Each structure stands twice: as C-alpha cells, then as structure tokens.
Structure 1
Amino acid sequence: MLSLMYAQASAQTDSTNIKSYINQVMIRVNLDTNLESFTYSEINDNEDVIKEMVFSINNKTKTSLSLDYRNISATLSFAPKFLPGNNDNNLKGNSSYTDFKLRFFPKRFIQTVYYKNVKGFYIKNMQDLIPGWQEEKDGYIQFPDFRVQTFGGSTSYVLKKDFSLKSIYTQGEWQKNSRGSFVPFLDYDLTIFRDIENGQKTKEYQYNIGANIGYFYNWVIDNKVSIAPYLAVGFGGKFTNFRDTLDDGSKGSREKKQYATVRGSGGLHIGYNSDRVLFGGKLNFNATAYNERDNYTVENNNVYGLIYIGYRFAPPKAVKNTYDKIQNKVPIL
C-alpha cells in the first residue's frame, strides 16, 4: 500500500496550486556567506557588555553543489581557496570548511540530515580588544587547532496542504498562486569542539534540541517570479560535556552543564523559475543565545546572503532505473 501511494505521488507532477518537477533531475550551484561565527559577551552587574569576542573562520564565501531527483536533495558545500577572502592565511591563519546535507520530502514533511566539519578560527574583532590595534602590524589571535564537527538534522511539517515549502528550500516545485503557511519544526544536533592550548587537548560535546514555529509566505508576482519572506522563533536546550587532557596524558575532570536557549531566524528569497532554468538569491539570519553564567552569555549570530543558478533535465535511463530499484526496497524514497 505504501509503495503504491508513493508511486502515485511520483507520477503526479501537477496539482491545482503546485507544479512539481519530481521526475526531473535538477542541478544547482550556490555561492553564499553562511559560515561559522561565535560571539562571546561578558556582561557586568548592570547588564552592560564589557567584553565581546567574535570567533570566525578565515573564509568569506563557500560554494555548494546540489543534485535533486524525486524525493531526495543532496548538497555538498566547501570553501575554495581561490575565492576572494578565503586565503588571508598570513593574517588570520588557515581554515577549512566542509558540509554535506541530505533532504527528504515524504508528503508534507521535510526531513534534513547533515554533517559539518570546520577547523581553524581567529578572533575577528581585535580592534575592540586591543587599543591601537593594526591589522598588518599586529595580526589576529589565531586558534589553528580549534575544530568543530556537527552531526545534525531537522524535521519540518507544512500545516497548509496547498503551500509548497519545497519551492523555497530547493526549488523542486513551483507555487502557482500566492500562499502562506505556519511550519513547526524540530532541530537537533551533536557538536564536538576540539582544541589544543599550550599542548593540552580539550574536548567538549554539545547536544542541542529546539522546538520552533515559523511562518512562510510565497508571493507569486508573475508566472516565473516569486518573493518569499519567512520568520521563525523557538526555544530549546543545550547540554554540554567537557573534559580536558592533563600534561601527563591522563583525562581531567568531567564537567557537565545544561542551558535553556532562545533562537530566532528569518529571511527573504527572490527567485526566477522556468521548466529548465532557475536562479535567484536569499538573505537570511540566524540567532541563538544562552546564559553560561549570570554575567556571561554566548551567542551564535549569523547574517548571510546566497545566490544560486540551476538547470533541470530528464533523468538518464540508468539514474531512473537505479532509483526505481532503491525505491522498491525503501518505499519512503
């Protein structure tokens, strides 16, 4: 029964309000500035910020290559050194960035899983910390061994049946008429922080989970152009597990903490779509904050832009046959 249901869904490429490209292969190339940055703010008793440090990686732009077919979207992201702003190694140290993401689209659900590996950070706002600091003369404080690995995912559900979130996320569909919908979603991840300071290794595990509600609106201004803003808010929990390595190589004491987190996100997507060619741009922001101590907060704030261009074409016979065989064994695909 489940296999039949998905076979019927695959065969159906149009509805009253949504045009589907489920039987087309789509490739996309993205350029965006969505890279790692952490802000640590020390606050005095009057709730005034007395010290703020921004940790960033030595990359300004990353490239993403995406491949979509049927109910799967796969994206590989990296930060090429030849792009401007990705190779200031003498001043900021060497950084590396890799990100792999999979999305699945069973009915009105969107399931995302991803892995991210980032290494090499520096303090970005040196001028705020050292009076008279000069970039060429003094350089930046660097953390070349600071590495962040994240295994994560999110589960979203579109409340309104005739609204296509897929048309905004991956452009795998096209919304024919203007619509909006609330979208509740859960996000969760395991992040591993590693560093070496003065020859001493440190490792921290962070488990994050959050419940969110967002509103997305897709304003179709003609047959091929749409504008889609969204805004989301949420709350969650952060659970940390820290342990360092002593000079003799033995494990140090373990420290565990729990925090309540608040988060917000939003953005704007403008896109052009035809049956073959698509392109557009996005502007997004993400913000997460929690109190580590009464006078110390940690924030991860991110504002980034993205441009993309894509092309759709009929799947090669080998691709179609291979997917059909896999779908017979895994009907949800």
Structure 2
Amino acid sequence: MNKLIATISLYFFCHICMAQQDTAQTYITTFKEKLVTSISVESNNDSFYISYKDDAATDASRIKFSPNSQMRLVGNVSYKILNFSFGFTPSFLKTNKELESSKDIRFSTRFSFKKWQQSITIIKQKGFLLDFKDPSKYFFPELQSLKIGRTTSYVFNDKFSYKTLFNYNEWQKKSAGSFIANLAIYYTNLKSYDSNNPINSEIYSATISPAYYYNLVINKRFLIGGGASLGAGLTSMDGEVNVLSELSMNAKMGYNHKNFFSFFSYSGTSFFLNHTNESYNNSFEFLKLEIGYRFDPPKKLKKIYHKIL
C-alpha cells in the first residue's frame, strides 16, 4: 500500500511540474541556447535638480545640472543567464566643440535565475550644463558624475517574460503581466576639480518599490510592453539621512522574426527628496532604438560558460 501511495504521489507531482512547464512554454519562447547581440543608438539624460529657498526669499531658486553629451552608442551581448552592455559617445555623435571635451560611458550587466533578476549599472559622465532658471546656460567641463546602481527584482508570474523587455533571449507569445518586487541601491558622486567651483558631493540611496509590468502581444511578430513602480527608502547626502521616494517607468515596442529583433523603448527613474527649504531630484532617462540578432554560440564559449557556471 505504501508503495502504491508513493507511486501515485510521484505521478501527480511529475504531472503538475510538466503542466507548469507546458503553461510557461505556451506563453514564452526561449532563446537561452543562442548568443544574443544587439546595437542601439540611445538618447540619455542623467540630470540633477536642486531647489533651495532662503528665509527672506518668496520664490525658490532652482539649479539644473544636465550632461552636455546626451547621445550614446550601446552594444549588448547576452548568453543564457548573463547579459552585458557597454555604451559611449563616439566623435560622430558630438555635434559641437564643447562636446569634444565631454565624456559619457555606461556599463551594465544583468543576471537572471528563475524568478530572480539582478542588474548592475555604472554611468560615468563629464561635462555639464548648469541652468539657473535664466536664458543663459553655463558649461562646466570639469564637473563629472559617477553613478553605480544595483537592482534586485522578483517576478511573481511564470507566464510573464521579464527578459522580453530587458534581456532579449525570450519572447512573449501570449499577453501576460506580473507584479514585481524591487530593491534598488545607488551610489552617486558629483565632483569638480575646478579651483573656482570645487564640488564633491556623495549620495547613497536604497529604496523598495512594488511594480507591475505587462506584455501586450499584438501578433506573433509585434508586442508592446512596459510598466511602472513607485517606492520609498532612505538616502544619505553628504552624511545627512532623509526619506527618499522613487518613481520608475518603462515602455517598449518590439518586433521579432526568428533570430532578428528590433525595439524602440523608453526607461526612466527619478528620485525625490524634499526639505523645508530645499529639494533634490535626480532623474535618469533613456530613449533608444535597438536592432539585434541571435547566433548559435561558438563551442569554445559553451565550454567556458559551463566551466564557470
């Protein structure tokens, strides 16, 4: 009798696992055995806003720090659970002499394991325009920023393909959405070595934000995906700790045909901090057009991957 019960239990367990796998395959096509490559032109803007109000003043003064270089060429490579991208501003995307001394470099990597997604982003910028709410803008070639961010996400719905939006080695076949839990940690440094305008400000922040994302499948070739998150956390700016709020949005239109794919997408994240007499806002946004292709990976790459992982 015990053997019969064990056999029946094992049968139903295997049946449930196979049913869950079939359900996931119905909604998602995976390309995890392919080497995924892409290139994109990206308009970026990692800007900082500081508003302050003196006791005697009636209106708040506002300063905007925006990077002088706002176009970037980005290359992306994905294989199985790993994803890497590197972007910079080449000479042909620099449209004036001031831009020649400006620099903009971005590196990001993303790891995927079952329902867990983890991304690390590094953004290095040099050369900022300062806007003091008047017709003139002032160029500070020595002002630079460094941003290092890490986001850990948990996707609740197995039928929803998060990788369709961010990794490209999956494609959503049937419309689905999911709630997602995010933990984001960022370090930002604003620095200038100009003796007349020295700046060295360090900002640490950590936020928890619930999100909802949805992939709307138009047909087997086209989809529209995206979502938003709203969260809160703490920030330390030059040693002073305060409450911080976060808003993130993402939207993407995608085309997929066998191994070729193309996307037009927008993503943006903003952090908000308010004091009695001053406020701080950091907003980094990306608008990009991307094309890519999936290849059969070289045998050597397979061997290296399996040795490491």
In the superposition, the TM-score normalised over structure 2's length comes to 0.86
CA apart distance, 1:167: 0.8
Residues 91-123 of structure 1: CA deviation (Å, up to 9, x unaligned): x77321111111110111001122222111121
Residue 297 of structure 2 aligns to which amino acid in structure 1? P
2:134 counterpart residue number: 129
2:56 matches 1:72: no
2:40 matches 1:30: yes
Residue 210 of structure 2 aligns to which amino acid in structure 1? I
Pairs within 5 Å for 1:145-164: 145-164=142-161
2:302 counterpart residue number: 320
Distance 1:93 1:313 in 2: 36
1:219 counterpart residue number: 216
2:279 matches 1:297: yes
Residue 184 of structure 1 aligns to which amino acid in structure 2? A
Distance 2:196 2:188 in 1: 22
Distance 1:49 1:212 in 2: 33
Kept in 2, the 8 Å contact 1:289–1:300? The answer is yes
1:100 counterpart residue number: 107
Distance 1:17 1:200 in 2: 56
Pairs within 5 Å for 1:275-290: 275-290=258-273
Residue 119 of structure 2 aligns to which amino acid in structure 1? T
CA apart distance, 1:153: 0.7
Instruction: Provide the aligned length of Structure 1 versus Structure 2.
Output: 288
Kept in 2, the 8 Å contact 1:59–1:87? The answer is no
2:248 counterpart residue number: 265
CA apart distance, 1:224: 1.2
1:249 counterpart residue number: none
Q: Secondary structure at the match of 2:90?
A: coil
Residues 21-60 of structure 1: CA deviation (Å, up to 9, x unaligned): 0000010111111232112223578x98532222111112
2:31 matches 1:21: yes
State which of 199, 207, 212 in structure 1 corresponds to 2:204: 207
Distance 1:208 1:317 in 2: 42
Residues 40-96 of structure 1: CA deviation (Å, up to 9, x unaligned): 223578x9853222211111211110001111000001112211xx34334x77321
CA apart distance, 1:302: 4.3
1:309 counterpart residue number: 291
Which runs of 5 or more structure 1 residues have no equivalent in the other structure? Answer: 1-11, 134-139, 242-255, 328-333
CA pair 170-98 structure 1, distance change in 2 beyond 3 A: same
Pairs within 5 Å for 1:108-257: 108-123=115-130, 125=131, 128-130=133-135, 133=136, 140-198=137-195, 201-241=198-238, 256-257=239-240
Q: Secondary structure at the match of 1:167?
A: helix
Residue 287 of structure 1 aligns to which amino acid in structure 2? S
CA pair 303-319 structure 1, distance change in 2 beyond 3 A: closer
1:5 counterpart residue number: none
Percent identity among equivalent residues? 25
Residue 88 of structure 1 aligns to which amino acid in structure 2? N
2:97 matches 1:89: yes
Kept in 2, the 8 Å contact 1:87–1:94? The answer is no
Distance 2:92 2:32 in 1: 35
In the superposition, the TM-score normalised over structure 1's length comes to 0.80
Kept in 2, the 8 Å contact 1:263–1:287? The answer is yes
Distance 1:116 1:301 in 2: 13
CA apart distance, 1:262: 0.9
CA pair 286-151 structure 1, distance change in 2 beyond 3 A: closer
Bigger drift between 166-175 and 34-43 goes to 34-43
2:52 matches 1:42: yes
CA apart distance, 1:318: 1.2
1:245 counterpart residue number: none
